[in-house]
Copies of this chain bind each other. A is one copy, B any other.
Amino acid sequence: MSMTRRTLLAAAPAASAAGLGGGPAAAQSPAPPPALHRYAVGEVAVTALHEGMAARPLDASFVRNAPFEAVQAALERAFLPKDQLPITFTPLLLTLGGRRVLIDTGFADNGPPTTGGALRALAALGIEPGQIDAVVISHFHPDHILGLRRKDGSLAYPNAQVLVPEAEAAFWMDESRMANPPDPLKPTVGAVRRAFEPKDIRVERYAWGKEVLPGLTALDARGHTPGHTAFLLESGGHRLMALSDVTNHPALFVRNPDWSAVFDMDADQARATRHAMLGMAAAERVAVAFYHAPFPAAGHIAKAGEGYEFVPLQWGVNPA
């Protein structure tokens, strides 16, 4: 998604209004440990890291092609607030053939105060940032890449190889575009410059349709951004589709796959990708993970009327 840092920071004070964390009840008790949830996909341990949340103020502009009343009815049906959307960020940690691999980063210490949980969750697991071997990036929106570096500019995962989608790099690292971006692209261009321009980062580009790392195949999921990528994780006959930002909040966009969030750069292409991938997940009953689904952000997709239903994975039960 393309929230700018300023939007996110502006949204942070609204967090308590949306019922995120905090409040008098929380003040009475010590802070709970960071949230994470582990499940197995064959031989691969997948750990959902609760990076945190941000409340997105809602108005008629958020879903570009649906009446605001319909959006609010969908939120009411999900027992969610109707004036702001609680958006979750969930990077994944994989133990893949002995390597520790992150998919996307969150914000590290560059985000609103309701984020930054992924680094704390790694610490709770006893994993030092220097022990992360690779970071696989799905696309270049700031909430996915800002966490490659800390606020002071240093690499958050100093020993990691950073694997980025070829098509995404081609678009955002185009010299003329970087030099003079149109306004809507500026926040992402800024995040890309910050992450990738310093020479201390080890970046490699990967292609769609091939294994990024053994067992992890990159899937063309363009539309949300020009190089937006999903992943198929396969191990021991088990599969997980990590669908990145193919949909934003499932209560809105899995239920109503034709709806377009403001974050999708090419709404028509994003819609086609969404239908194709949700349809495949439903037909094959394959487990899915989303970056923006409610934590722990994994489950299955079932056909439901004109759209689909997201059925969260039961805590502690591995996908079939």
Binding site for B on A (CB under 8 A): 18-21, 23-26, 28-30, 32-33, 35-38, 40-47, 50, 52-53, 77-81, 86, 88, 95, 98, 124-126, 285, 287, 294-296, 299-300, 302, 311-320
Contacts and interface: CB of A to CB of B under 8 A. Distances in A.
Contact of A317 (B28, B43, B86, B125): B86
Nearest to A53: B316
Contacts of A320: 19, 79, 81
A121 B124 CA distance: 13
Contacts of A30: 125-126
14 contacts: A19-B318, A23-B318, A24-B43, A25-B46, A29-B125, A32-B36, A32-B37, A52-B316, A79-B299, A79-B302, A79-B313, A88-B314, A294-B316, A296-B315
Copies in the complex: 2
A317 B82 CA distance: 13
Contacts of A287: 79
A128 to B, nearest CB: 12
B26 A79 contact: no
A276 to B, nearest CB: 21
4 tightest Cβ-Cβ pairs between the two chains A and B: A19-B318, A25-B40, A25-B45, A295-B315
A40 B32 CA distance: 13
A52 B319 CA distance: 18
A135 B296 CA distance: 30
Contact of A86 (B19, B44, B47, B314): B314
B95 A20 contact: no
A320 B124 CA distance: 31
A30 B20 CA distance: 30
Given A25-B40, A124-B33, A18 B317 contact: yes
Contacts of A50: 315-316
Contact of A38 (B32, B45, B296): B32
B77 A302 contact: yes
